[in-house]
């Protein structure tokens, strides 16, 4: 039980979801879970600003220690609870190299996705340009093809950095799930589709599935032609 831990999070936020999956994988259930509403701007509330001056979630506390960066929280949890739950950093040099490489490439995948699906959120109305969005879409397609190729090379039933679940899956799966939530075609990206289906059944993922996705299982179709 993790009663000395608190997580402030928002439903469907990939960075928040990373930390939630890490907590599940490390058998750290029972933490204080505070779901905030993005619609009500609760992530900009004083409660969040007190522990995260950028006004963002996740905000994670372990006792008095504050960690607001999602990757930082996941690495911290693995480091503090190495021998508990799933081992997220493998031992072998080869496995480690691939795991670290894909874990950090995951930030690029997230950014390229965000530049498309959150374009109107990031860019003020008067500054939006068809050409810029088209460039972002092309960059995302190139990126998706890389990941599809990575999975193809690893063979069926693989996780993102090999035959076992690792840190890479913890931090990148929420991005993959968001891609499909926004309409990515599993026919066009069959390896990513198979990976998504595989991870969806994982207890850590089921336990942390975004509540508003459960309530409303139909997502957007932003990425359907990608």
* Binding residues vs its own copies (CB under 8 A): 53-54, 62, 65-73, 75-76, 79-80, 89, 93-94, 96-98, 100-101, 103-105, 107-108, 124, 126-127, 129, 131-132, 146
Give the number of C-alpha atoms closer than 13 A to the C-alpha of residue 123, restricted to the C-beta side.
15
The DSSP result for 15-67, as a single string, is: HHHHHHHHHHHTT--S-EEEEE-TTTTGGGSHHHHTT-TT--S-EEEETTEEE
Residue number with CB closer to its own copies (124 or 157) = 124
Minimum distance between the CB of residue 186 and its own copies, rounded to whole angstroms?
23
CB closer to its own copies, 93 vs 214 = 93
**Is the Cβ of residue 73 or residue 179 nearer to its own copies in the bound state?**
73
Q: How far is the CB of 11 from its own copies (least distance, A)?
A: 22
CB of 79 to its own copies, least distance (A): 6
Q: How many residues does the chain have?
A: 226
User: What is the crossing angle of helices 93-117 and 130-154, to 10°?
Assistant: 150
DSSP result, 61-111: EETTEEE-SHHHHHHHHHHHTTTSSS--S-SSHHHHHHHHHHHHHHHHHHH
Report in angstroms how near the CB of residue 28 gets to its own copies at its nearest. 14
Is residue 68 a contact partner of residue 5, using CB atoms and an 8 Å limit? no
Least distance CB 168 / its own copies (angstroms): 10
Nearest residue (CB) to its own copies, 37 versus 79: 79
Residue carrying structure tokens 């993005």: 38
d(CA 52, CA 145): 35
Least distance to its own copies, CB of residue 94, Å = 6
Q: Is the CB of 54 or the CB of 163 nearer to its own copies?
A: 54
The sheet carrying 59-62 orders its strands as: 32-36, 5-10, 59-62, 65-67
Least CB distance to its own copies at residue 77 (A): 10
Q: Which two tokens stand for residue 26?
A: 């490390």
Q: Which is nearer to its own copies, 128 or 224 (CB)?
A: 128
The smaller minimum CB distance to its own copies, of residues 42 and 105, is found at 105
């Amino acid at each position: 039980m993790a009663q000395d831990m608190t997580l402030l999070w928002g439903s469907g936020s990939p960075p928040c979801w990373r930390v939630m999956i890490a907590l599940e994988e490390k058998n750290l259930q029972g933490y204080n879970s505070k779901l905030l509403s993005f619609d009500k701007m609760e992530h900009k509330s004083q409660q969040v600003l007190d522990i995260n001056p950028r006004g963002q979630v996740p905000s994670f506390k372990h006792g008095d220690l504050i960690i607001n960066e999602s990757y930082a929280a996941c690495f911290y949890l693995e480091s503090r609870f190495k021998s508990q739950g799933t081992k997220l950093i493998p031992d072998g040099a080869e496995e480690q190299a691939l795991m670290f490489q894909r874990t950090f490439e995951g930030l690029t995948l997230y950014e390229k996705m965000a530049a498309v699906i959150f374009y109107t959120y990031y860019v003020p109305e008067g500054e939006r340009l068809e050409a810029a969005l088209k460039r972002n879409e092309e960059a995302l397609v190139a990126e998706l093809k890389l990941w599809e190729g990575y999975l193809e090379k690893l063979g069926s039933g693989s996780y993102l950095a090999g035959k076992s679940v690792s840190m890479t899956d913890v931090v990148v799966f929420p991005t993959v799930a968001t891609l499909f939530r926004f309409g990515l075609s599993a026919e066009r990206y069959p390896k990513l589709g198979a990976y998504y289906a595989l991870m969806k059944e994982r207890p850590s993922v089921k336990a942390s599935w975004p509540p508003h996705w459960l309530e409303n299982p139909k997502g957007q179709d932003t990425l359907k032609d990608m």
